[in-house]
Amino acid sequence: MRSSPADPPERDLMKAVVWTAYGPPDVLQLQEITKPTPKDNEVLIRIRAATVTAGDCEARNLSFSPMLALPMRAYVGLRRPTRKTILGQEFAGEVEAVGKAVTRFQPSDAVFGHSGFMTGTYAEYICLPEEPAGINGLIEAMPVTASFEEAAAVPVGGLEALYYLRRADLQSGQKLLIIGAGGSIGTFGVQLGKHLGAEVTAVDSAAKLDMLRSIGADHVIDYTQEDFTENGQFYDVIFDVPGKGSVARGMRSLTDPGVYLRANTSASKSMRGQWASRKTNKTIISGATYSAGDLPFLKRLIEEGKLRTVIDRCYPLEQTAEAHRYVETGQKVGNVVITVRPQKEQGV
């Protein structure tokens, strides 16, 4: 039956996990929403895989320091998320359509990337600018040797690890210690450290040590059994991924000069760290930024077999809340991936 002129036009819908409130994983609800349409400078990507990171979980319930949580709430929505309603930062998939000004990509291209503060990857589709707009949107052709799941888990951990190790100017033959080495950032940090020629010591729980050896760690430490600050060893670079330990104690295990990297830290801990280093030649670095040129570098290392993704578990899009619950246990080994099947493929 033909529609009458008064009938509203049909909407092209997609499935997405919508962030309905600040709170526990159950605030993430699977819904049908309008599929986005690319602007002239945008690429419409059919998402095949996304990830759940610790940062996604922190954003979901605003478990930040007041200094960060208050402006986040002001930006996203005071009482509930309104400006951003779909979480997720990493993705891999295929280009479905491009805006008329797009020149780098075309339909059917396999791509991966980082949505930046635009978030939005817990969905069947996303639109991103062809070229990065500030911190929003990094898109790159997918490594030919990687699956969608493997590629989706590269950007956050890979880009953060690469940024910090470059800032430390890590050199061949130096000693690198990574605290929290078994997670998304740490597993890439171990491999990039080895690629740069460092002697790598990985610190994490006992359940992750065999995996860390398998990706190249020269030495491993179970933090529940041994305190690296008391073993008499000194390191040229210490990479504290969780950022929860005592900076002053950690810096005692640094050579002088040495570099202490903190991927996740509060302002107060950063200030205490700077105070602790004031009478030494030791440097503290925190706060990462991403460069568009870094993702192609990581892609090349993957294709050359020098970098691989560690995947713990995969969850379907419908179980994204359960994936958040698991990530919050702190037990994940490497990465947790969300597999996404666009509607038109369901039932095939």
Strand-strand pairing, 283-286 and 175-179: unpaired
pLDDT in tens, 34-84: 999 999 999 999 999 999 999 999 999 998 878 888 888 988 999 999 999
pLDDT in tens, 189-223: 999 999 999 999 999 999 999 999 999 999 999 99
Q: Of all residues in the chain, what percent carry a pLDDT higher than 70? A: 90
Question: What are the structural domains, with CATH classification, of the chain?
Answer: 13-154+309-345 (3.90.180.10), 156-286 (3.40.50.720)
Which tokens is 313 given? 């578990």
**DSSP string over 63-117:** -S-HHHHHHHHHHH-SSS--S------EEEEEEEEE-TT--S--TT-EEEEE-GG
217 CB contacts (<8 Å, ≥6 apart)? 181, 190, 200, 201, 202
Q: Mean pLDDT by 10-residue block, N- to C-terminus, for the chain (348 residues)?
A: 49 94 97 97 98 95 84 91 96 98 98 90 97 82 98 96 96 98 98 98 97 98 95 96 86 93 66 59 85 91 98 98 97 97 52
Backbone phi, psi, residue 149, to 5°: -65, -45
First and final C-alpha spacing in the chain: 28
Rounded Cα distance between 29 and 39, Å, is 27
Q: What residues pair up with 110 in beta bridges, in sequence order?
A: 94
HSE-up (13 A, CA, CB side) for residue 79: 0
H helix intervals, 215-304: 247-251, 267-276, 294-303
